[in-house]
C-alpha cells in the first residue's frame, strides 16, 4: 500500500544475465514495463495495492528455483512467488519490487495413483484440470475455490484455499499429503508423501500450507483424492429476510443430520446485483436473502432423500420457495448467481473493498446484522455473501456511484475498523480463506496477540534469515 | 385453455465429449434432461395458463426413462403428463413421431394449443412440431419469439424470420414452435418435485391410440440413417500483424475491406 523503504538491492543487468544463465533468455523478462505490468497485481481491485516487479522469471524445475533463491540471497533481492494471480490479498504482489517467480510453466500432472487415491502435480496446474483428469478413475479432488477455472493448485495450497465445498469436505490443507518445497535459502525439502498418517517429526507440511509464499516455493504437490460423488443436487432457497435465512444454516446440519456439500448465503443486495448483472429472471425481488445448498452422495436415491429433507426443513423454516437443480444446466444457472456477485459489484465502481471474515458458525447472524448496521452508518453498500455453512462471509464493500476516491478513503478506515472489531468480538478472524498478504497485515494485531505474532515471526526468521522470499507480507514492518 | 407441450428427453450436451474415431457422442455418464428448447415451450404454456386459466399437459414419446423428463415438467408447474411408450414406437423418425404425438393430442381432446420447442438438441431437425400440425390439419406458426395476444379463438404471434419479424394471426386450435426469445423458463421447485414424484403418470401404448400400426416406429418411418459423416471444415486463417502505426492502419484497412466484400459493413 504505502511505499515501503526498500532494504533490498535493485535488479541490475548483470543479475539479469545470471538469471538468464539459470533459466535461458526466453524465460526472464526485464526492462519491459508492458510485459511486467500484469505481475504487479492480483485480483484485489484497489489500485493502491499494486507494485511493479523489476524482473520476471518463469522457471521449469525445482533445480532452477534453487539456483534463483541462492542467487537472490547472495545479491539481496526479494523474490515473490506467483501462481495464477487470482488471489485477493496481494500475496503475489512484489511490494519491494525485485523478482516475481511465476510458476505458470510448471503445470504438469505428474502422476495419478489410483490405488493410493492420490495425484501428484506441479504448482502451476489449474485447479479444475485436476478433476478433469482424475474423473475417469472415479475419483475427485474436493477443493472448490470460486476461481477454480483460473487459479493454480500451488496458490490454493499457499493460501489454504477454502471454497464452496468446505462444509462437507474441508479446506485445501486436508487434502495436501505431500510437498516438495524449495526453502527461501535454496534447500529442497521433501515433506509428507502418499501417507494418510504421518507424525514423523514436526508437521512442517501443514506449516507450509497457508504460508502465502513466505516460507517456501512448492514444486511438487501430492493431493489426496476421494471417490467421486455419483449425484449432486442443488437447492436454491429464497427467504424473506436475512435473519430467517441465516437461522436455517445451523439447523440444516443439527436437525436433518445431513452434511451438505455447500451452504452458500447471499443477501438481498448481493442477489439483486448479480441477477441484474446476469439478466437472471429468478423472482429475486421477492427474496430478502437466498441460500444455495448442495447435497451429494453415492446414489441418486440417497441424494433425493437428503435434498427433500433439507428442502422441507427450509420450507418449514419459512422459505418462500425452494428451487431444485438435479442436472448440470439448472445447477449452473444457480451457481452463476453466486459466482458472479463480485463481478456484479466490480462493474459498479472502481472503489471496492473485499473482505473475507470468518466467525464461529453460530455467530453468523450477529455478523450479518452488524454488517447491515455498519453499512447504514457509513452509507456504503455492504453485500454479504459466502460460505455460511462454515462461518465464512465475504463482502465487497462498494460506495454509491457518485462518491469520489477522497470520500471513499475518508470513511474506509472507519467502517473497516468497525467491521473488524465486530468480527473479533464475535470470536472471529480477519481472513477465512483469502489470506493476509500485504492487504490485511496492519489489522493482524486486532485479532492476534503480540506473542502469537512474535511466534510466527520467529518461524519466518528460521526459514528465511535474509527475508528474501515474499517480504512485506503477513507481518507489518 | 387446454395446452399440450410435447417434450423430448435428450442427453445433456453442454459438457459432452466426442469420440474422435467414430465421430459420435460419448453417452456414458451423460445426464438425460428435457430438451433445452422445450423448456421455453413449457414456460410459455405455464404463462398462458396463468393469464387465461386452464391446464398444461406435458407429453413425451420415449422409453420408460423419459418419465423423468415428464416429472421434471410437472415439477416446473405442468398439471399432468402423459408418456407414450411402446415397442411399437421404437425407431420412429420425425414423421412417425409426429404421427404418434398427434394421435395422443386427439385422444387428450379439446386441446387449444400445442406448443413445441423449435427443435431438439440431439436430432436438430425441427420437423416434429410442424408434423403434428400437419397430421392434425391445424395451422402452425414456427419460430415464435413472442405471443402478442390470445383472444377470440386466435393467437397473434411474432415469428423470428430471416432479416426481421413477422406477425401472424393463427386460428385455434393451432401448433406453435418457439425459439428461446419467447420466455425465460422457471426453475423446478421442491413442492413441484414432490408433487411430480407422487403423480401417477399414465403410459399410453399403440393400442391406446387411434393409429394405424404400419405408420408407427421403424416400419412407419420413411427416413433411414444410412451413414453419419462429419463435414470437414476448412478454415482459412489470415494473420494480420500490427506492430506500429502504419502496419496497424494497413491491418484495419484489410479487415474493413474483408467485411465490405461480404456486405457485412
For residues B66-85, average pLDDT: 96
Spatial distance between the Cα atoms of A45 and A350, rounded to a whole number of angstroms: 7
Q: Contacts of residue A325 in chain B, CB cutoff 8 Å?
A: 187-188
* Residue A1: per-residue pLDDT: 47
Q: What's the CATH number of domain A109-227, 3.40.640.10, 3.30.1360.120, 3.60.15.10, 3.30.465.10?
A: 3.30.465.10
Contact B191 A235 (CB under 8 A): no
Task: Measure Cα distances from B170 to A40, B45, B113, B158 in Å.
Answer: 62, 16, 11, 11
Option in B15, B184, B191 nearest A328 (CB): B15
Q: Are A416 and A352 in contact (CB under 8 A)?
A: no
* Phi, psi values for residue A411, rounded to 5°: -95, -15
What phi, psi does A363 have (nearest 5°)?
-95, 0
Could you tell me the three cell numbers for B199?
403423480
Which positions in chain A touch B15 (Cβ < 8 Å)?
328
Evaluate if residue A4 carries a pLDDT over 60.
Answer: no
> Angle of helix B190-198 relative to helix A300-316, nearest 10 degrees?
130
Asked if A332 and B188 come within 8 Å (Cβ–Cβ), the reply is: no
Which chain B residues are within 8 Å of A312, Cβ to Cβ?
A: 190
**What are the angstrom distances between the C-alpha of A85 and each of A80, A108, A249, A342?**
12, 18, 32, 16
Contact A332 B14 (CB under 8 A): yes
Among A219, A213, A209, A180, smallest CA distance to A65 is for A219
The distance in angstroms from the start CA to the end CA of chain A is 12
> Stretch A194-206: mean pLDDT, rounded?
92
The phi, psi pair for A459, rounded to 5°, reads -65, -45
A276 near B CB under 8 A? no
Average pLDDT over residues B170-198: 95
The gap from C-alpha A158 to its chain's centroid, in whole angstroms, comes to: 9
Do residues A339 and A262 lie in contact, with contact meaning Cβ atoms separated by under 8 Å? no
The chain B residue lying nearest A132, using CA atoms, is B15
Interface touch A324/B193, C-beta < 8 Å: yes
Q: Which stretches of chain B sit within 8 Å of chain A by CB? A: 12, 14-15, 31, 33, 36, 75, 184, 187-194
- DSSP codes joined into one string, A135-147: GGGTEE---B-TT
pLDDT grade for B15, boundaries at 50, 70 and 90: low
Q: Does A325 contact B at CB distance below 8 Å? A: yes
pLDDT of residue A6: 81
Residue of A nearest to B31 (CA): A327
pLDDT of residue A2: 47
Answer whether residue B78 shows pLDDT above 60: yes
Q: What pLDDT is stored for residue A283 in this prediction?
A: 81
- Identify the closest residue of chain A to B187 by CA–CA distance: A323
Give residue-wise pLDDT tens across range B223-251: 888 887 777 877 778 888 888 888 899 99
Q: Quick check: A441 and A431 in contact, CB under 8 A?
A: no
The Cα of A334 is separated from the nearest Cα of chain B by a number of Å equal to 9
Distance CA(B81)–CA(A57), nearest Å, equals 63
Statement: residue B92 has pLDDT above 60: yes
pTM score of the predicted model: 0.84
Nearest C-alpha in A relative to B193: A324
| β-pair type (A118-121, A384-387) | unpaired
pLDDT of B124 strictly over 90: no
For A170-179, write each residue's pLDDT tens digit: 999 999 999 9
Detail the DSSP E strand segments found in chain B.
2-7, 9-11, 32-34, 55-61, 80-84, 113-117, 140-151, 154-161, 164-171, 174-178, 203-204
Report, as an integer, the average pLDDT of A467-473: 97
Confirm or reject contact between A235 and chain B (CB < 8 A).
Answer: yes
Share of chain A above pLDDT 70, in %: 99
d(CA A157, CA A159): 5
Q: Judge: A308–B31 Cβ closer than 8 Å, yes or no.
A: no
Residue A56 half-sphere exposure, CB side, CA atoms within 13 Å? 23
Which pLDDT band, with edges at 50, 70 and 90, does B61 fall under? Answer: very high
End-to-end CA distance of chain B: 47
Q: Do B187 and A325 touch (CB under 8 A)?
A: yes
Q: Which helix (H) or strand (E) holds B101?
A: helix B94-108
CB atoms inside a 10 Å sphere around CB A185 = 17
Query: What's the rounded mean pLDDT across residues A238-261?
Result: 90
Q: Where are the alpha helices (DSSP H) in A80-200?
A: 127-134, 153-159, 166-169
Q: What percent of chain B has pLDDT over 90?
A: 75
A348-436 matches A231-342 in CATH topology:
yes
Q: Which residues of B touch A311 (CB under 8 A)?
A: 190
Backbone phi and psi for residue A393, each to the nearest 5 degrees, phi listed first: -110, 140
CA distance A431 to chain B (A): 35
pLDDT digits (tens, 9 = 90+) for A322-358: 999 998 888 988 999 998 898 888 888 888 888 999 9
Contacts A–B by Cβ distance under 8 A: 45
pLDDT of residue A3: 52
Mutation to test the A interface, candidates B193, B196, B243, most A Cβ within 10 Å: B193
Is this complex's ipTM strictly greater than 0.85? no
- Cβ atoms < 10 Å from Cβ of A401: 9
Q: For A392-419, what is each residue's pLDDT tens digit?
A: 999 999 898 889 999 999 999 999 999 9
pLDDT exceeds 50 at position A188: yes
Query: What is the DSSP annotation of A310-342?
Result: HHHHHHHTT-SEEEEE-SHHHHHHHHHHHHTHH
Q: Does domain A231-342 have CATH number 3.30.70.2190?
A: yes
Task: Report the share of chain A in percent with pLDDT over 90.
Answer: 77
Q: Do B187 and A322 touch (CB under 8 A)?
A: no
Chain B contact for A309, CB < 8 A? no
Rounded-to-integer distance, Cα B126 and Cα A389, Å: 45
pLDDT tens, residue by residue, A138-168: 999 999 888 888 999 999 999 999 988 899 9
Mean pLDDT of chain A: 93
Give the residue extent of every domain in chain A. Answer: 109-227, 231-342, 348-436
> Under DSSP, is residue B161 helix (H, G, I), strand (E, B) or coil?
strand
pLDDT at A430 over 60: yes
Distances (CA, A) of A390 to A165, A311, A337, B30: 10, 19, 20, 32
Q: Rounded to whole angstroms, how far apart are CA atoms A384 and A3?
A: 31
CATH number for the domain whose boundaries are A348-436: 3.30.70.2740
Of A281, A282, A327, the CB nearest to B12: A327
Rounded mean pLDDT, B150-157: 95
Residue from A280, A313, A315, A324 whose CB has the most chain B CBs within 10 Å, to mutate: A324
In chain A, what's the furthest Cα-to-Cα distance? Answer: 71
Q: Decide: helix, strand or coil at residue A92.
A: coil
Amino acid at each position: 500500500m504505502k511505499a515501503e523503504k526498500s532494504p533490498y538491492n535493485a535488479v541490475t543487468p548483470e543479475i539479469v544475465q545470471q538469471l538468464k544463465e539459470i533459466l535461458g533468455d526466453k524465460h526472464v523478462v526485464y526492462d519491459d514495463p508492458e510485459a511486467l505490468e500484469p505481475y504487479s497485481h492480483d485480483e484485489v481491485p484497489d489500485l493502491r495495492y499494486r507494485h511493479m516487479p523489476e524482473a520476471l522469471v518463469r522457471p521449469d524445475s525445482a533445480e532452477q528455483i534453487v539456483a534463483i533463491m541462492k542467487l537472490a540471497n547472495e545479491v539481496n533481492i526479494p523474490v515473490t512467488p506467483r501462481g495464477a494471480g487470482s488471489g485477493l490479498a496481494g500475496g503475489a504482489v512484489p511490494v519491494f519490487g525485485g523478482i516475481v517467480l511465476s510458476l505458470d510453466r510448471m503445470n504438469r500432472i505428474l502422476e495419478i495413483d489410483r490405488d493410493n487415491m492420490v495425484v501428484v502435480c506441479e504448482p502451476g496446474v489449474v485447479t479444475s484440470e485436476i478433476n478433469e483428469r482424475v474423473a475417469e478413475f472415479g475419483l475427485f479432488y474436493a477443493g472448490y475455490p470460486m476461481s477454480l477455472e483460473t487459479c493454480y493448485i500451488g496458490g490454493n495450497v499457499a493460501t489454504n484455499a477454502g471454497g464452496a465445498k468446505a462444509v462437507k469436505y474441508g479446506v485445501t490443507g486436508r487434502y495436501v499429503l505431500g510437498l516438495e518445497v524449495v526453502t527461501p535459502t535454496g534447500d529442497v525439502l521433501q515433506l509428507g508423501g502418499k501417507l494418510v498418517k504421518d507424525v514423523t517429526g514436526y508437521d512442517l507440511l501443514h506449516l507450509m500450507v497457508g504460508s502465502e509464499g513466505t516460507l517456501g516455493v512448492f514444486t511438487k504437490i501430492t493431493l489426496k483424492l476421494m471417490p467421486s460423488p455419483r449425484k449432486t443436487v442443488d437447492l436454491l432457497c429464497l427467504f424473506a429476510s436475512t435473519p430467517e435465512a441465516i437461522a436455517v444454516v445451523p439447523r440444516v446440519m443439527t436437525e436433518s443430520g445431513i452434511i451438505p456439500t455447500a451452504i452458500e448465503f447471499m443477501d438481498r443486495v448481493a442477489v439483486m446485483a448479480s441477477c441484474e448483472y446476469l439478466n437472471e429472471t429468478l423472482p429475486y425481488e421477492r427474496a430478502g436473502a437466498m441460500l444455495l445448498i448442495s447435497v451429494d452422495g453415492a446414489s441418486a436415491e440417497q441424494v433425493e432423500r437428503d435434498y427433500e429433507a433439507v428442502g422441507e426443513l427450509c420450507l418449514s423454516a419459512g422459505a418462500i420457495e425452494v428451487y431444485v437443480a438435479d442436472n448440470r444446466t439448472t445447477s449452473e444457472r444457480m451457481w452463476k448467481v453466486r459466482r458472479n456477485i463480485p463481478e456484479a459489484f466490480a462493474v459498479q465502481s472502481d472503489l471496492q473493498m473485499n473482505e473475507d471474515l470468518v466467525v464461529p458458525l453460530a455467530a453468523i447472524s450477529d455478523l450479518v446484522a452488524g454488517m447491515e448496521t455498519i453499512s447504514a452508518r457509513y452509507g456504503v453498500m455492504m453485500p454479504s455473501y459466502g460460505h455460511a455453512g462454515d462461518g465464512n462471509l465475504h463482502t465487497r464493500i462498494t460506495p454509491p456511484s457518485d462518491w469520489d476516491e477522497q470520500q471513499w478513503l475518508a470513511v474506509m478506515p472507519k467502517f473497516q475498523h468497525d467491521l473488524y472489531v465486530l468480527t473479533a468480538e464475535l470470536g472471529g478472524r480477519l481472513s477465512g480463506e483469502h489470506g493476509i498478504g500485504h492487504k490485511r497485515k496492519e489489522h493482524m494485531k486486532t485479532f492476534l496477540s503480540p506473542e502469537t505474532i512474535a511466534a510466527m515471526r520467529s518461524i519466518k526468521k528460521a526459514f528465511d534469515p535474509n527475508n528474501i522470499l515474499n517480504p512485506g507480507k503477513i507481518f507489518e514492518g | 385453455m387446454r395446452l399440450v407441450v410435447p417434450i423430448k428427453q435428450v442427453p445433456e450436451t453442454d459438457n459432452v465429449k466426442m469420440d474422435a474415431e467414430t465421430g459420435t457422442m460419448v453417452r456414458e455418464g451423460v445426464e438425460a434432461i428435457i430438451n433445452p428448447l422445450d423448456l421455453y415451450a413449457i414456460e410459455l404454456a405455464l404463462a398462458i395458463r396463468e393469464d387465461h386459466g386452464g391446464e398444461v399437459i406435458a407429453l413425451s414419446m420415449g422409453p420408460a426413462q423419459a418419465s423423468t423428463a415428464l416429472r421434471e415438467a410437472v415439477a416446473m408447474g405442468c398439471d399432468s403428463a402423459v408418456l407414450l411408450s411402446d415397442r411399437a414406437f421404437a425407431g420412429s423418425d420425425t414423421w412417425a413421431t409426429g404421427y404418434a404425438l398427434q394421435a395422443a393430442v386427439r385422444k387428450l381432446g379439446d386441446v387449444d394449443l400445442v406448443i413445441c420447442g423449435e427443435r431438439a438438441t440431439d436430432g436438430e431437425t425441427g420437423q416434429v412440431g410442424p408434423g403434428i400440425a400437419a397430421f392434425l390439419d391445424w395451422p402452425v406458426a414456427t419460430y415464435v419469439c413472442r405471443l402478442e395476444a390470445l383472444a377470440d379463438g386466435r393467437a397473434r404471434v411474432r415469428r423470428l424470420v430471416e432479416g426481421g419479424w413477422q406477425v401472424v394471426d393463427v386460428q385455434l386450435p393451432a401448433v406453435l414452435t418457439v425459439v428461446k426469445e419467447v420466455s425465460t423458463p422457471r426453475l423446478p421447485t421442491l413442492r413441484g418435485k414432490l408433487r411430480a414424484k407422487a403423480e401417477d403418470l399414465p403410459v399410453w401404448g399403440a393400442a391406446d391410440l387411434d393409429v394405424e400400426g404400419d405408420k408407427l416406429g421403424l416400419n412407419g418411418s420413411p427416413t433411414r440413417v444410412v451413414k453419419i459423416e462429419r463435414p470437414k471444415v476448412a478454415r482459412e486463417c489470415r494473420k494480420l500483424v500490427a506492430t506500429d502505426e502504419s502496419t496497424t492502419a494497413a491491418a484495419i484497412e484489410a479487415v474493413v475491406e474483408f467485411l465490405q466484400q461480404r456486405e457485412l459493413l
